Structure 1
Amino acid sequence: MTFRTLLIASSALAGLPTLALAQEAAPAEAAPAPTTQVAEAASTFTGDEIVVTARRREETAQEVPLAISVVTADSIEATGNFNIVKLQQLAPTLQVYSSNPRNTAVNIRGLGVPYGLTSDGFEQGVGIYVDDVYNSRVASATFDFLDVRQVEVLRGPQGTLYGKNTTAGAINITTNQPTFEFEGRAEVTFGNLDYKQAKAAVSGPLSDKLAARIAVATTSRRGTVFNTRTDRYINEQDNLGVRGQLLFRPNDDLSLTLAGDYSRQEPECCGTVFVRTGLTQRPLNRQYAALAAAQGYTVVSRNPFDRLTDIDASLRAGNQIGGASLKAVWDLGAGTLSSITAWRFWDWKPENDRDFTGLAIVSKSQNPSQQDQYSQEFRYNYSGEKADFVVGLFGFDQRIDTQGLEQQGLAASRWNLAPSADPANIANNPATLNGLSAINTQYLKSTSAAAFGQVSWKLTDAFTVQPGVRINYDKKSGFYQRRVLDAAGVDVTTQPASAIRTARLGVYQAQISEPSVSDWNFSYDLNLNYALADDLLTYATYAKSFKTVGINQNGLPTDAAGNPILGAGVIKPESVNHFEAGLKTQFWDRKATLNVSAFLTDIKNYQATVTNGQLGVLRGYLANAGKVRSQGVEADFSIRPSERFTAYANGAYTDAKYVRFVDAPCPPELSGGTAATAANPASAPGTPGGFSPANCDISGQRLPGVSEWAFSYGAEVNAPVTLLAKEGQAYLGIDGNYRSGFSSNPSQSIYTNIEGYAVTNFRVGFRTEAGIDLFGWVRNAFDTNYFELLQVAPSNVGLVAGQLGDPRTYGLTIKARF
């Protein structure tokens, strides 16, 4: 039995003595309408305040002098936002993009990670924490929230209070903890598309000093795209998660919490649909229309919202995440000492269709990887009459191993090789490329250590000065090797020179690199906040932050002779200057809350994803852009005039641009042609057979994936009723979100702009004072057609494929608490 199997079993057994069904609803008088305001807000109709731990101590959200969105568990469940990917519907400045769990990007205000294919060699700009444990892989964002109490979305650099430095923000997830009073919660949901979701949690004492809690969640749903090739729906949901916790409290001053969790996904995912084609600079007979016609291929549908595809390669998104942690909290009287020790793992087993067609061009694309990470944090919190402070130490060690396989298929030769007068006729011979494989072996070792601290010095009852500092050391070393084998398994690089060998090495290039780097960084911030009056707080923040140095872990670009450019193996750290000012206020006897913030973030040496468009050679690598700027304004408003009505509206304007990026990858309409020279300058975009620049100056263009305008809103009204002899509330709720258009390509392209869209959801239900909640819901009620992501196919053939947003879904949820 493996250690991970033992972990799964122990997670389940941790709460077995008190196992029972549990539920996520509160009694009727305590059940809140969904709220996402960034301030003190009633978590119940009785006027309770939302308590957060953003500054590593418990305080109301309205007291925190920074921009923070708080989403309670009831809001998450009522609106169906059951993971971070869906959470962006409630938080306008949060952007999440996912072509599959590995290639998931979580950004705040347009910043965090570069848009496009991911690499293990760089850090997240948005940290994801679950009960103080840092999750280094964004893949965790695709899993169900598991027994979550609330989620805090912190905007702006968070390096002087959190274990891992983050330049764009942090998502702080707090789960429900073991209790010394028995409680149980349960929830089941059924919907169209064979949607089924079940959640359960139970907590209670095992003795007067020991308490346990166990929670499970499972989600399944039929896919939303039909694959005519395999005669089944794809892009389904298939999630399972379990968490177990033991709380040992020998006295009032000390508590020890041992937690273990395991989650897995095994869907047939993640396929694309045909969206459109656009002219590139390749010769016309080498573009999509001519290549498809030459092989007698016709796409199953040219309307993406028919939700049909015919991709032929096998699909899989096997995903397992889990770990264990031990948290000790010791009350020392004057302050509190905390220790968080954690281990986490991530196993990724993918299979993809990299050519986005029903032709056997790329027949296999599989890059499984395994990660282990260890972290240790010590933190001391002190609260005094004139000053509060936090000091901490953080250590992190990570290893990721990847084994890659990409293989060409029967249609590859005619698709990738230009016809010629060569008597061997290699371009029309399927055997030229069929079975040609690129075998990648790689690993990454990453170590970091940091000391950090922040003090809140109360100069007066109204005015507080809050400086913070951080010193950070990072070391990264990697290994990458690509071997090229023919269909018989023979290394192509060892074969005699021939036209076939040259053609094969033009598709896959052998390479080996061992990048390594270490770096020290010092960062700091200063926050000034002043209470102009009761319930009226103003603040201003300056932060000098960084994103640590990175390495290219997926191979290196090559020079004219085909040799790896070793200098491209290391990516400089980002240098961040962040300015922010805000106002937090409540009025109308605290029945209304309005918070406003304005920000400007400049990043030098921005770590960007660069792609070269070649099939199978090097899909993407990291490089430094000169400068990026994100600036904007955010506003969050909520109102609760009575226990019968509540509403919120959140909005954000974000202007995120490349200030200077002079050697960026060109968009598809400028790619694929003969290299431009002084004698033959670059042709106009979309000129078949034209001349293409080696790179493009995209200074002034918007960052990909960022909408200028984003809004979310919601409201709920209820009335007391008696139904089937049960007293309770009947309620009607609405929530929705809007995003303006955005670019879906690292360099803005006329072919990959996604139009703005709005999604509206409704629910109607009945909740009782005894803790029963029954409601029906419809999401995307107006069946809006929209894209979540557009992708450009390799080889500059002009094909654009996409991933679709969910269609209209509807269902019924039943929750109970006891």
Structure 2
Amino acid sequence: MTAKYPSVRRRVPAGLFTLSLALAIAADPAAALETADDTAAADDAAQVEGGSYGGEIIVTARRRSETAQDVPIAISVVDGEQIDNTGSFNVGRLTQLTPTLQFYSSNPRNTAVNIRGIGAPFGLTNDGIEQGVGIYVDDVYYSRVASSTFDFLDVAQIEVLRGPQGTLYGKNTTAGAINITTNQPTFDFEGKAEVSIGNLDFKQAKAAISGPLSDQLAARIAVSSTSRRGTIYNVVTDRYIQSQDNIGIRGQLLWRPADNLDITLAGDWNKQEAVCCGSVFVRTGETQRPLNRQFAALAAAQGYAFPSENPYDRLTDLDANLNAGNEIGGASLRVKWDVGPGTLTSVTAWRYWDWQPENDRDFTGLPIVTRSQNPSQQDQYTQELRYNYTGDRFDFVIGGFYYYQRIDTQGTEGHGPASSRWTINPSNPLSNDPSVLGGLTAINTQYLKNTSAALFGQLSWKITDQLTIQPGVRVNYDKKDGYYRRLVFAGDGSPVTADLTDAVSAARLAVFTPQEYAPSFSDWNFSYDLTATWKAARDLLLYATYAKTFKSGGINQNGVPNGADGDPILAAATVKPESVDHVEAGVKAEYWDRRATFNLSAFRTDIKNFQANVNNGQFGVLRGYLANAGKVRTQGVEFDFSVRPSERFRAYANGAYTDAKYERFVDAPCPPELSGGSASAPNCDISGQRLPGVSKWAFSFGAEANAESSLFGQDGQFYLGYDGSYRSDWSSNPSPSAYTWIEGYSLSNFRAGFRTESGLDIFGWVRNAFDQNYLEQLSVGPGNTGLITGLPGDPRTWGGTIKASF
């Protein structure tokens, strides 16, 4: 039987593509990397059109059409079919397919997305700094990393670009970028629908429809909904937590008044209402506190014990309200005009984010911290304008970017009747009086105004047919103005002020200290990069890149330490810019009649004034603030291999070795085993130790085999697919601790099904097939008591999916 399946004509937008996954995608032969002409590649969408299986991939990673193997950038691409087939429906799940991507989240706001071990400080999020990894959807920059916790909505493809960016894109990012491209409106009527069900009451539905409204106007609308029971059972509330409850809708209108002009208006709305977020007991470790102030003694004094000491029993007893209400939406207007010898592109966008959290900050079933919530509201406005030109010997892109963000946050933190006995030294008689700290409340008010503007450009000079030199520059201005105020009230409503000196007030001020300050930061910086490309043979490319760039400085928005006089230390209110030096070299090769691809890259990134998160050990003194480490270095080697000997089989293997460490950090926060004692050092030297959140070794691998057949009179393919991943151990604390290393683990996902030529696909799937026990994150409990809690990863899940397209 002759194969008749359409290929995917890949139109990779501004961006990000790694030969690795793009040529190695092992998900669905009807959706992997295929032929495209230059006209198709210039667009920003992926379409299913006729064509031969295999062939070259045309990308516009440098704002012009070229084959993927000619792009001197390390990029990873996952297309929409791969996302659906592997269940990678958000950024967190995408890490199983992209070894150099790290994702850590204790709740949507406190989420970090890193590449090669760098990007955002590990720990609690601080609104006063920028992300090192930019997230873009259809050319629109998403400033809040909370967006990465939502379901992908009608996605055509996702590209993960490794290394500093800025000379081609709107917002400057020093670690890389995640570029998400959605399916665009079409002038041919088409649609698709997908329904999945599984264990843990998993239900997911997706649908999209697109078509013409007139000869010049086309529309597309897509919806998505995901729900799942939580994976941790709360014995106090008799309900599961860590649930999924996502819904989203996206609509687009494309107006094409002339062949050389496209105007796209898009809008989206996404909401989460999960019962989230909590943790389970993992272990305790000895700290420098007196024994009667460590966790075992404090818990015994109140007759308390966790419901289980085995984290994989997935039991908790958190007694405070939990909520992770998360809403994100916005609108954008994109204009693409082929004018003169090039293309002018304008992207205007507005986005908002509303965050309504409730947490249990003592991590136990005792009423110590009974209320912890910091609701936040954000508005952002962006404008990008760029012009790109392609010629025989010279290509260039020049652009400008403007960004404004306003964030308002209102926090409430309150202590309960068990706090006095837990928090105050047992030798102090006040520890036996629940009213001393019971009802103690801190009201936090803060805002941030963030303005950024930039001019950027990149030139490609083809010196010969084999040698190309590509310089790029960026001039950036950033300004941040903030405000922070904390008011403290006793349980009877009376204010607790810093001038009170009685014993009761002193005990209260040791927990919550009133504070007010208005930090401000502004700075210019100049970035540049240079890439040399040598086309040694038709299927062999060598490249080398040097980049000098900066990550904007910032301000501390969650409070700063007080000095001996009781006033805020204003020197800690601002954070210096990171200075980044980056070198990279790579080889991209195809062989066996282009049925196999092997790419190799090596990199080193040195960062001065690295922005590191500092967590204070007390309940409410600080939720965490930022400081500059002396120097950080990350270096490593990455490879991407794929083979497709025929239409019946394909396989891939991608890997990364990443050596990321503090080269110099002499005043870092101490790990818990060195904290809490009266004689403990206020800071520790962790120079030479590994950065948090990054594994030295990470791999993804998989294969798919298929056989042509028929079922119920329908011609099609039976197929069997496998996707696996492995990550070695990593540190889950900003300062490496013996108590917070997460052991390495491997995950395996299988799928098997039947798909037809008419667009019907039915398959079953098993994820974490061998029910591997693993932890996604460990957290140090407050108060230096030695408590360590964690988030266990998903257990084995299974289910089925039906997809149809027309």
Contact residue 791 and residue 802 of structure 1 kept, 8 A: yes
Q: Which has the higher contact order (CA 8 A, sep 6+)?
A: 1
Contact residue 498 and residue 513 of structure 2 kept, 8 A: no
Q: Deviations over 1:351-383 (max 9, x none)?
A: 011111000110000000000000000000000
Q: TM-score by structure 1 length?
A: 0.93
The structural deviation recorded for 1:30 is 3.9
Match 1:438 to one of 436, 439, 442: 442
Q: Is 1:761 aligned to 2:749, yes or no? A: yes
Give the aligned partner of residue 676 of structure 2: 672
The structural deviation recorded for 1:27 is 8.0
Contact residue 190 and residue 196 of structure 1 kept, 8 A: yes
Give the aligned partner of residue 219 of structure 1: 226
The structural deviation recorded for 1:549 is 1.1
SS of equivalent to 1:669? helix
Contact residue 654 and residue 701 of structure 2 kept, 8 A: yes
Equivalent-residue separation in structure 2 for 1:743 and 1:351 (angstroms): 27
Match 2:567 to one of 563, 568, 579: 563
Q: Is 1:802 aligned to 2:790, yes or no? A: yes
SS of equivalent to 2:676? coil
Match 1:549 to one of 526, 550, 553: 553
Equivalent-residue separation in structure 1 for 2:144 and 2:181 (angstroms): 18
Contact residue 19 and residue 75 of structure 2 kept, 8 A: no
Equivalent-residue separation in structure 1 for 2:730 and 2:442 (angstroms): 34
The structural deviation recorded for 1:558 is 1.5
SS of equivalent to 1:507? coil
Give the aligned partner of residue 205 of structure 1: 212
List aligned pairs for 1:421-500, cutoff 5 A.
425-493=429-497, 497-500=501-504
Match 1:111 to one of 90, 108, 118: 118
One-letter amino acid of the counterpart of residue 147, structure 1: D
Unaligned 5+ residue runs, structure 2?
Answer: 10-17, 25-31, 35-51
Give the aligned partner of residue 164 of structure 1: 171
Q: Is 1:607 aligned to 2:614, yes or no? A: no
SS of equivalent to 2:557? coil
Equivalent-residue separation in structure 2 for 1:74 and 1:67 (angstroms): 22
One-letter amino acid of the counterpart of residue 37, structure 1: S
One-letter amino acid of the counterpart of residue 190, structure 2: E
The structural deviation recorded for 1:281 is 0.3
The structural deviation recorded for 1:43 is 1.9
Match 1:573 to one of 564, 574, 577: 577
Contact residue 183 and residue 203 of structure 1 kept, 8 A: yes
One-letter amino acid of the counterpart of residue 789, structure 1: Q
Give the aligned partner of residue 678 of structure 1: none
Give the aligned partner of residue 663 of structure 2: 659
Equivalent-residue separation in structure 2 for 1:27 and 1:137 (angstroms): 43
Give the aligned partner of residue 47 of structure 1: 54
Q: Is 1:812 aligned to 2:800, yes or no? A: yes
Q: Deviations over 1:415-438 (max 9, x none)?
A: 0001235xxx32111111111001
List aligned pairs for 1:223-242, cutoff 5 A.
223-242=230-249
The structural deviation recorded for 1:56 is 2.6
Equivalent-residue separation in structure 1 for 2:60 and 2:356 (angstroms): 35
Equivalent-residue separation in structure 1 for 2:309 and 2:63 (angstroms): 52
The Cα RMSD (Å) is 1.6
The structural deviation recorded for 1:61 is 2.4
Contact residue 186 and residue 199 of structure 1 kept, 8 A: yes
Give the aligned partner of residue 319 of structure 2: 312
The structural deviation recorded for 1:493 is 1.1
Equivalent-residue separation in structure 2 for 1:326 and 1:58 (angstroms): 23
Give the aligned partner of residue 513 of structure 1: 517
The structural deviation recorded for 1:559 is 1.7
The structural deviation recorded for 1:55 is 1.9
SS of equivalent to 2:158? strand
Give the aligned partner of residue 10 of structure 1: none
One-letter amino acid of the counterpart of residue 568, structure 1: A
One-letter amino acid of the counterpart of residue 174, structure 2: T
Contact residue 102 and residue 138 of structure 1 kept, 8 A: yes
Contact residue 640 and residue 646 of structure 1 kept, 8 A: yes
Equivalent-residue separation in structure 1 for 2:569 and 2:520 (angstroms): 14
One-letter amino acid of the counterpart of residue 358, structure 2: E
Contact residue 20 and residue 639 of structure 2 kept, 8 A: no
Q: Is 1:253 aligned to 2:260, yes or no? A: yes
Equivalent-residue separation in structure 2 for 1:732 and 1:356 (angstroms): 43
Give the aligned partner of residue 731 of structure 1: 719
The structural deviation recorded for 1:256 is 0.3
Identity %: 69
Match 2:629 to one of 603, 625, 630: 625
Distance 1:473 1:515, change over 3 A: same
SS of equivalent to 1:397? strand
Give the aligned partner of residue 96 of structure 1: 103
Equivalent-residue separation in structure 2 for 1:128 and 1:782 (angstroms): 33
Give the aligned partner of residue 773 of structure 1: 761
Equivalent-residue separation in structure 2 for 1:658 and 1:765 (angstroms): 47
Contact residue 413 and residue 442 of structure 2 kept, 8 A: yes
Match 1:787 to one of 760, 768, 775: 775
Q: Which moved more, 1:106-115 or 1:61-70?
A: 61-70
One-letter amino acid of the counterpart of residue 470, structure 1: R
SS of equivalent to 2:20? coil
One-letter amino acid of the counterpart of residue 801, structure 1: T
Give the aligned partner of residue 20 of structure 2: 37
Q: Is 1:715 aligned to 2:730, yes or no? A: no
One-letter amino acid of the counterpart of residue 542, structure 1: Y
One-letter amino acid of the counterpart of residue 657, structure 2: Y
SS of equivalent to 1:492? coil
Equivalent-residue separation in structure 1 for 2:187 and 2:373 (angstroms): 47
Contact residue 40 and residue 62 of structure 1 kept, 8 A: no
Give the aligned partner of residue 745 of structure 1: 733
Distance 1:36 1:753, change over 3 A: farther
Equivalent-residue separation in structure 2 for 1:797 and 1:615 (angstroms): 11
The structural deviation recorded for 1:29 is 5.0
The structural deviation recorded for 1:398 is 0.3
One-letter amino acid of the counterpart of residue 78, structure 2: V
SS of equivalent to 2:594? coil
Equivalent-residue separation in structure 1 for 2:413 and 2:385 (angstroms): 43
One-letter amino acid of the counterpart of residue 772, structure 2: T
Equivalent-residue separation in structure 2 for 1:227 and 1:451 (angstroms): 52
The structural deviation recorded for 1:488 is 2.5
SS of equivalent to 2:783? helix
One-letter amino acid of the counterpart of residue 462, structure 1: Q
Contact residue 424 and residue 431 of structure 2 kept, 8 A: yes
Match 1:123 to one of 111, 123, 130: 130
Equivalent-residue separation in structure 2 for 1:87 and 1:438 (angstroms): 38
Match 2:685 to one of 693, 697, 704: 697
Contact residue 115 and residue 704 of structure 1 kept, 8 A: yes
Contact residue 27 and residue 772 of structure 1 kept, 8 A: no
The structural deviation recorded for 1:696 is 0.3
One-letter amino acid of the counterpart of residue 750, structure 1: A
Equivalent-residue separation in structure 2 for 1:494 and 1:665 (angstroms): 25
SS of equivalent to 1:266? strand
Equivalent-residue separation in structure 1 for 2:355 and 2:401 (angstroms): 27
Equivalent-residue separation in structure 1 for 2:583 and 2:711 (angstroms): 54
Unaligned 5+ residue runs, structure 1?
Answer: 1-25, 675-690
Equivalent-residue separation in structure 1 for 2:61 and 2:387 (angstroms): 15
Distance 1:297 1:325, change over 3 A: same
Q: Deviations over 1:339-358 (max 9, x none)?
A: 00000000000001111100
One-letter amino acid of the counterpart of residue 744, structure 1: S
Give the aligned partner of residue 173 of structure 1: 180
Distance 1:294 1:158, change over 3 A: same
Q: Deviations over 1:471-526 (max 9, x none)?
A: 00000010000000112222111885421111111110000010001100001000
How many residues end up aligned between the 2 structures? 774
Q: Deviations over 1:291-334 (max 9, x none)?
A: 00000111100000001001111100000001000000110130
Equivalent-residue separation in structure 2 for 1:466 and 1:184 (angstroms): 41
The structural deviation recorded for 1:560 is 2.7
Contact residue 585 and residue 602 of structure 2 kept, 8 A: yes
